[in-house]
Amino acid sequence: MATSTFLGTSFNACSYLLDDRVAGGLGDQPAIAGPLGAFTYAELLGKVRDLAAGLRALDVRPEERIVLFMPDGPALAATILAAMRIGAVPVPVSTMQTGKELSLVLRDSGARVLVAGDPFLLAAEQAAAQSPELRHVVVDGHGDFTASPSAALHRLGDLRGDDSEPYDTREDSSALWLYTSGTTGTPKGAIHRHANIRHVNETFGSQVLGITAQDRCFSIPKLFFAYGIGNSLFFPFSVGATTILDPARPTPASVAQRVQEDRPTLFFAVPTFYAALLAADLPSELFSSVRLAVSAGEPLPPELYRRFTERFGVELIDGIGTTEALHIFLSNRPGKVRPGTTGRPVPGYELRVVDEHGNDVETGTPGSLLVKGDSIATGYWCRTDTTRSVFEGHWLRTGDTYVTDADGYYSCLGRTNDMLKAGGIWVSPTEVEARLLEHPDVLLAAVVGLPDADGLDKPVACVVPNEGSTITADELIEFCRAGLASFKRPREVLIVDKLPTTATGKLQRFAVREFAASLLRAQQ
């Protein structure tokens, strides 16, 4: 229903993704498959209505944030949709976070409600104890949980009540926050509108994937990623397709089992995981049900593309998206793949490659990549300076350096700043360095990204120990693992006598990268 220009056009993403499917006669179509249970669209709508009513009973109000610290499964999908249904804002966060990292998100977002899954209750309990604004902790499961003095404890299965129609959100209402380190090192919440969800479906989902109700989607990236929530929720639910949700940490063996049992037609992963699949002893016919595989998160090396397509016989397209853009805006197309490139702009997006003055560069000249499209976030929560430096009017500065060729294909040359990706997830070198410097035996530390045997960047640390220290590389890796999300840990630690610096003592990160690369080559 259209409303006045002042208020904007009514649009609720939950209604668009779920109610409309049931109203369109797809109520008996399977919506969710996987080890935690199967749901039709009608069954899922019933679960979402119960959760929506239960959240209202906790006095969750429109625009309020609900932090979700849960494994992939029907409960997480339903809670995301229920929050959107009542006009609240779901904030799904990485289950790899420590209690300290989760508490930072809780406090930064001002969330009064935390929903936590059974496997992650220890970290959630630690976070709740450090989050005085928290009023409700909702546990999905039967595990023990000591709530903080300010927060009441509830069980997700007990949330229910009388659900009315979806809240009258507008296209510009906040629908979803996703925390990212993205173009800068400090985690921050990217704010997405309800309309953004429709836009990614109408662009990448429809015009690149060509998704239909007969598709079955299986994504290695989880729902707390922008990449994953599009793959596993937005795209399938926009057309009545089926999503396959697996709570387990993906391994080649576990993914092979899921593929064999649930027979996906669309498969999504990051280059690091495609490399892991190739390294595993898997049958060449494993992906026989898959009509299209998608790679994003980091550039896909052409050799990895060749090996995967030749071994498994599946077409593989590489693309790039960002948390701030919600999903992929630059991609190869089925039947038109150019290995080693990120393809061409997705319909609905405009791209520019610019120099340091913001002027468009010529074909073949490297520059900074900017993107424009209706799925771009409105900004970062309470990060005015960062928002102004990244969001330039209608344009988003991605932080990547790109070059175009005469045929309009784009190739990534790396990051414009020092941020790096490990397994498709942003890693801030300064955050890892700060953790290393907490160790009493570490004097100096520098972290850079270096390619592994598959050509994929991984964090490598160069550490100068205190005089007399006997600290080992393995000990420092475990120290990082204990204090950071595991994907942030350095894959290699090089113990060195000094680090390359300028005359004024500033770290020369490019020189550290060359230095570390030479040391690793010498060890081979």
Q: Look at the chain and count its residues.
A: 524
Same domain, 405 and 434: no
Same domain, 214 and 275: yes
Distance CA 295, CA 424 (A): 10
Same domain, 51 and 92: yes
Distance CA 65, CA 345 (A): 33
Residue 4 lies in a domain: no
Choose one of 393, 415, 437: the last residue of a domain: 415
CATH number at residue 226: 3.40.50.12780
Give the phi and the psi of residue 517 in degrees, each rounded to 5: -60, -40
Same domain, 144 and 95: yes
Residue 185 lies in a domain: no
End-to-end CA distance of the chain: 65
Q: How far is CA 200 from CA 94, 194, 278, in A?
A: 22, 11, 30
| Number of domains comprising the chain | 3
Residue 145 has a CB neighbour count (10 Å cut-off) of: 19
Choose one of 415, 448, 469: the last residue of a domain: 415
Same domain, 58 and 147: yes
**How high is the pLDDT of residue 506?**
56
Locate 168 and state its tokens. 């009258």
Residue 444 lies in a domain: yes
Residue 77 lies in a domain: yes
**How high is the pLDDT of residue 504?**
44
CATH number at residue 495: 3.30.300.30
Beta-strand relationship, 457-465 and 442-451: antiparallel
**Alpha-helix residue ranges (DSSP H) falling in 155-270:** 194-200, 226-229, 235-239, 252-262
Give bridge partners of residue 420 from the DSSP assignment. Answer: 427
User: Which residues form the domain of 158?
Assistant: 13-170
Same domain, 450 and 404: no
Same domain, 306 and 448: no
Same domain, 254 and 334: yes
**How high is the pLDDT of residue 503?**
47
In 3D space, the residue among 56, 58, 62, 26 whose CA is nearest the CA of residue 44 turns out to be 26
Residues 227, 231, 233, CA angle at the centre, nearest 5°? 110
Residue 223 lies in a domain: yes
Residue 183 lies in a domain: no
Kind and range of the H or E element at 397?
Answer: strand 395-404
Same domain, 456 and 377: no
Choose one of 355, 384, 415: the last residue of a domain: 415
CATH number at residue 100: 3.40.50.980
Residue 447 lies in a domain: yes
Distance CA 4, CA 2 (A): 7
Give bridge partners of residue 67 from the DSSP assignment. Answer: 91, 114
Same domain, 54 and 133: yes
Same domain, 449 and 519: yes
**How high is the pLDDT of residue 182?**
60
Output the tens digit of pLDDT for each of the chain's 524 residues: 444 456 789 999 999 999 999 999 999 999 999 999 999 999 999 999 999 999 999 999 999 999 999 999 999 999 999 999 999 999 999 999 999 999 999 999 999 999 999 999 999 999 999 999 999 999 999 999 987 788 999 999 999 887 778 999 999 999 999 998 765 667 899 999 999 999 999 999 999 999 999 999 999 999 999 999 999 999 999 999 999 999 999 999 999 999 999 999 999 999 888 988 998 999 999 999 999 999 998 888 888 899 999 999 999 999 999 999 999 999 999 999 999 999 999 999 999 999 989 999 999 998 999 999 999 999 999 999 999 999 999 999 999 989 999 999 999 887 777 778 787 787 878 788 888 988 999 988 889 999 888 888 889 999 999 889 999 999 999 999 999 988 899 999 999 998 886 544 556 777 888 999 999 988 87
Same domain, 372 and 456: no
In 3D space, the residue among 397, 402, 399, 392 whose CA is nearest the CA of residue 367 turns out to be 402
SS3 content of the chain, % helix, strand, coil (to 5): 35, 25, 40
CA atoms within 13 A on the CB side of 40: 8
* Whether 87 contacts 56, CB under 8 Å: no
Residue 3 lies in a domain: no
CA atoms within 13 A on the CB side of 27: 8
